[in-house]
Structure 1
């Protein structure tokens, strides 16, 4: 079984490969995502949403990873085709039995919205 840090490393590795389907291995069936652009529940809907997001992702540049038991905080720069500069982002995940149960992304969405 993966540690929480290994789970989230595999999660972001899937992003880098543009492989949303591989994320099923690290997301709990009842995973809940919350972020500035929306709320998504369940593994199928999360994978579908990630298919859309990964269409604009160029790179994920990890800056720091903090682990506190089952909780993982990943600070990264999200490089996208929709923005000229990377989006500084914080991802807070709670991992149970090697799978992310909750994920919360925190970033300023204005560059994606054109405002």
Structure 2
């Protein structure tokens, strides 16, 4: 999918679009956010198990995320990075929320824990809307904050790794027979 730049595409346009994008996410109004995306948007997000294609897929994602984190808010970090290769930009952000509802997938019940994490969005624009979107963040860090995974260097992490090594040795001994 090759993007088409708005006539005034540049740092100013991207900054204004970025403000509308962030405000739309923080409004929790799916229609407001979806309006900024092309009808055939392609969206990959670290929080979702599959590539979303089209607004209905994105709507399903938004419903799931906002159900799990009803107070999810984003703040941008620094300025947008505007590509010289075409109508593309990247934004760094931080997010904060409390886990108040079931997180699907994978079906994690609400923990009530507050989380804060950082990530980045990579946009490709077509006709002034996001046509291709990649969102990346440290999912492991989020899962540690939610208490799903053990903290790095903890006794619990060492125990999990020890169990994995034992499992590997057992599997390898079966293969060697």
Could you list the structure 1 runs, at least 4 aligned residues long, displaced by more than 6 angstroms after superposition.
none
RMSD: 2.1
Select the residue among 61, 67, 73 that pairs with 2:75.
Answer: 61
For the pair 1:51 / 2:63, whether they are aligned, the reply is: yes
Select the residue among 112, 117, 122 that pairs with 1:92.
Answer: 122
CA offsets per residue over residues 16-36 of structure 1, 9 Å max, x none?
A: 111111122110111111122
More strand by share: 1
- Please report how far the alpha carbon of residue 80 of structure 1 lies from its aligned counterpart in structure 2 after TM superposition: 1.8
Q: How many residues in Structure 1 have an aligned counterpart in Structure 2?
A: 115
Larger Cα-atom Rg: 2
| Higher relative contact order (Cα pairs below 8 Å, separated by 6+ residues) | 1
Q: How far apart, CA to CA, are the structure 2 residues paired with 1:74 and 1:33?
A: 15
- Please report how far the alpha carbon of residue 58 of structure 1 lies from its aligned counterpart in structure 2 after TM superposition: 2.8
TM-score by length of 2: 0.57
Structure 2 residues not aligned, in runs of 5+: 1-5, 100-112, 150-177
Structure 1 residues not aligned, in runs of 5+: none
